[in-house]
Each structure stands twice: as structure tokens, then as C-alpha cells.
Structure 1
């Protein structure tokens, strides 16, 4: 299971970039990780999503939708609610059921953050299950995030959950990759939560589909503060590096500013490499690297 401890940078007397405790996250009514617009289609992420007559929890339930159902956003956002321990807005939607067009309102957190469709028609969707506050000081508060696979008919195949510690990233995106030289892998989905401001990290999660289960692969992380420091990880799979078979390499580079030249600062740069062995079902970090 992916641990939630991330890099803590202590540079020039600056403390950690974040602390463990945080309030319930609040996604702005007009700008959030979904970045959804009027007229766009969206996919239901949860097993059962209630459609309501008005955009609030007190309104009557008019229908329910299932994982993979597609809806069209037909309005700007409405004032939201805290559900599943995080705040998100409501939207008016339209959808078809039995050839009949229906309308209603849905809470944004019930929709997938993104979807990728493979060449065989199978769908990879990902989203938030809920926000979880950790009782363990060694871990961070996080979103319980999941990837789900549906076949070409929309039937559920598999699901895999991982923790994502939201740190004000501004958008999310995903991409389907081939097996990348890994044995027993049919497809890899890369999920990114990206930050555009100084000190806001970008995180990349890689999840492999073996045809029977979804499995974590090593992820990558990057963060920087202009003129102070940077930290960057890169992942290379066997088909990319052409070195040892079934080994995934992570190249890590850190830079710490060593002068006060704001226009063209000099950095003290350190580099290292980590290696991970894939056995067809899981990976483990190699204790030594040559």
C-alpha cells in the first residue's frame, strides 16, 4: 500500500511544506479539480448517485444513477454541501434513460475526475470516495481515491484504491499507457494531480491492469519554489530505458539555492536513482542499485 509520507524540505530555515492536519477540503464553486464546464459530459463514479429535484440535500430524490452512467452538465455551479467529508458544488444535469431525456441536480463529488477509454472499449475512471482524517501522526489526511474499470458493455471489472493527500493542486489529468515492457500487464493508467503555483506539488500515480486486478506501480512527485529549491522525480519503465528486464527506475534530482542572485540563482544539485523489481503481480524496491 502506498504510504502517505512525502518529502519534507527544510531549506534555509523553512519548515515543512505542509502539516498533517487540515480542515475539510473545500472545492470552489467555480474552480476545482474537476474543471467541468456547462455542456460537458461527465461520468458517474460512485455505485449509486442520487439525482435531486433541487441542488441541496433536503430536496426530493428523483432518480439514482450507477457507476459509468454518462450525464451532461447543463448549468453553472450552485452552492454546495459537505458530503463524504469534503465540500463541492451542485450542478444541473441531463441524461437519457430508456430513451427518455431526464433532468435533475447532482453533487459534483459523485462524478469521476476523469475517464480513459481503451482500444477494446473498456473504461478506466477515477475519483474520490471520501476525505479521510488520519489518526496516525505518521500519515497525512487524504482523499481515499480509486480507479475503476468497466468493460465495453459498462459492466464492472475491478477497483483499486489509493490515498491522495490534497495540497491545493489545481487540476487533474490522466493517460492510458501500454504495458511499457512489464510482464503480465495489459495497460497502465497514469493519474496526475498537478500544481501550478510555487510550493504546490505535482503527483503522478501509476496503476497497472493485469487483466484480473489493478496494482500499484511506483509513482513520481515534483515540487519547487522559484529561487529556493526544487525536487523532481522521473520514472522510466523497461521499454523506455532498455536496461534490466522488469526493473523500473526512478531518477531523483534535488536543487537547493546557494546564492542570492534572484535572476539566475545557482543551485547545489544532488542526484540519485532508485530501482524497483516487477514480478508480474507486484513490485519491490531493490536494496542496492548498480
Structure 2
């Protein structure tokens, strides 16, 4: 396992190093369509007169404010590991409609409305994290999911989302309670890369009693038929599921220098008591 992750980390670092001086493209998770509605993720996001950080601030918008994407500007701003275009937008405040420019990194990667609540998924920051395999640090992105009632924040949970290379695609979905006791619904936030060897991350979040509960994060990665590593949960309503528990399953394959496959499997069971989970 350690050898596998060492190879993976070297591969990712090589990709990052090769592109560290070239930020002419934005992360795919921030590629928003023109003439489509979107929502503000970062609270009190600044709306500017033109697409740059030195432009006069026209307004500030709260999380969950709905906007309309008018046009994607070619200007790209990089903050930490987040790279996004500026967008010309319009929005409603009271009886008036206003326009301005917003940085795409402050918008939701995804949002959903369910049972009277608004759920928002977005990227929040980049922090330096100690590298477990080499000396030095790595740049780690963080995301969060918020549950809102109007402009009021009810709860929020944060989690890691890998490097900028894992921000090519993003998705956000509401799911059933998977037959977990007292759970109202489940949320699933995903980010992934577009190249071989770039990890994808799945973050499941339970919603109960106006609280968000993040489950252990899942990671999957592969490179053609050289290696793969996959993780998944088996919930009570899935085949082979068990009542009020969720099962973690990991599968891994790595070929050696003689093209022989080395496979590994691991299973862990988390017990859910109706309010929290623990490893069995």
C-alpha cells in the first residue's frame, strides 16, 4: 500500500511541477455556462466593476444568492490551487437588477434544494500540508458543504479535495437516507481529474436534525492497466448491506516489473446508532 501511494504521489507531483508555470487554463469545476443560473458560495463575495482584483467593488453578495451568468471573461485568477475565470453576472436585489464581475472560485460547484433547505457545495481554500512520504509540504485544497435557509447558515462541514489536478470535474447530488436510522437524506460531493493517475474524491454527508455529518472520504485512482485503487461504501439499502451500518470496501491492484498483478482488499464496518458512527 505504501509503495503504491508513493508512486502515485510522485506522479502527481511531476504533473504539478510541469504545469506550475502555466496557468492559462481554469479548473473545470469552475467552467460555468453562459445564460445559466448559478449561486454564490463564498459569503459576502465581492462584485467588481471589471474582471480584476484591483477593480472598484460595486457590491457584496451573501451565500445562496442566485445570479445569472452573462459572459465568461478570458481573465483567469489563481488563488492557492484554485484557478477560475471571471464572469460577468446579473442579479436581483429587491426590485432592482444589477450587473458586475465575480471570480468563479466564489461560486458553487453544485447546489441542490431538498425538503425546504438549500445545500451548497464549493471550494474554500488551499493550505500547505505536511507530506507524509517526502520532506516538505504539499498544497491541499479544501471544500465545504453548507445547508442554508434563505441567507441563514444552518450548518457547514469541510473536507479535503486533493490538489488542483483533481478539480477537472465536480458533481453534487442528494440521495436517499440509505435506510440509516434518523437520517433525512444523504449528500454526495465529488471532484475528479481528467488524466490517468489523478485521484477522484467522493464525500458522503448525512443530514439529520439540521446537522451535517461527514463520513470518511473515499478516493479512487488508476492508470490504464498498471494499477488501480478504488474505495466504496455499502449502505443498508445496497446489495450485501447490513442494518444501521455502512461497510467500507477497498480494492487495489499493482503490476510489478514482471507484469504480475498484486491485488489487495480491505473491509471495515462502521456502526450507525442513529446520531453518530464508529468503527466496529
Alignment of 1:37-76 (within 5 A): 37-76=33-72
Task: Give the Cα separation in 1 of the matches to 2:190 and 2:22.
Answer: 19
Extract unaligned runs of 5+ from structure 2. Answer: none
Task: Give the Cα separation in 1 of the matches to 2:164 and 2:158.
Answer: 19
- Greater Cα shift, 211-220 or 138-147: 138-147
Are 1:160 and 2:157 an aligned pair? Answer: yes
Question: TM-score, normalising length from structure 1?
Answer: 0.82
Change (3 A) 1:15 1:163: closer
Aligned equivalent of 2:215: 217
Extract unaligned runs of 5+ from structure 1. Answer: 1-5
Change (3 A) 1:242 1:230: closer
Change (3 A) 1:148 1:137: same
Task: Give the Cα separation in 2 of the matches to 1:25 and 1:192.
Answer: 27
Alignment of 1:84-99 (within 5 A): 86-99=82-95
Deviation, 1:62, is 0.9
Deviation, 1:8, is 5.8
Aligned equivalent of 2:276: 282
- Indicate which of 105, 109, 116 corresponds to 1:109: 105
- Greater Cα shift, 38-47 or 79-88: 79-88
- 8 A Cα contact 2:141 2:164, kept in partner: no
Deviation, 1:189, is 0.6
Q: CA RMSD in A?
A: 2.9
Task: Give the Cα separation in 1 of the matches to 2:236 and 2:244.
Answer: 6
Aligned equivalent of 1:3: none
Q: Counting helix residues as a fraction of each chain, which structure ranks higher? A: 2
Alignment of 1:103-252 (within 5 A): 103-118=99-114, 120-134=115-129, 136-138=130-132, 140-151=138-149, 153-169=150-166, 170-241=168-239, 243-252=241-250
**What SS is found at the alignment partner of 2:46?**
strand
Aligned equivalent of 2:254: 256
- Greater Cα shift, 36-45 or 272-281: 272-281
Deviation, 1:243, is 4.5
Task: Give the Cα separation in 2 of the matches to 1:242 and 1:14.
Answer: 31
Change (3 A) 1:277 1:26: farther
**What SS is found at the alignment partner of 1:244?**
coil
Change (3 A) 1:253 1:176: same
1:31-66 alpha-carbon deviations (Å, 9 max, x no partner) = 521221211211101110111111111111111111
Change (3 A) 1:243 1:67: closer
Task: Give the Cα separation in 2 of the matches to 1:174 and 1:198.
Answer: 22
Task: Give the Cα separation in 2 of the matches to 1:30 and 1:109.
Answer: 10
- Greater Cα shift, 204-213 or 266-275: 266-275
Task: Give the Cα separation in 1 of the matches to 2:80 and 2:252.
Answer: 37
Q: Across the two proteins, how many residue pairs are aligned to each other? A: 272
- Greater Cα shift, 167-176 or 272-281: 272-281
Task: Give the Cα separation in 2 of the matches to 1:32 and 1:129.
Answer: 16
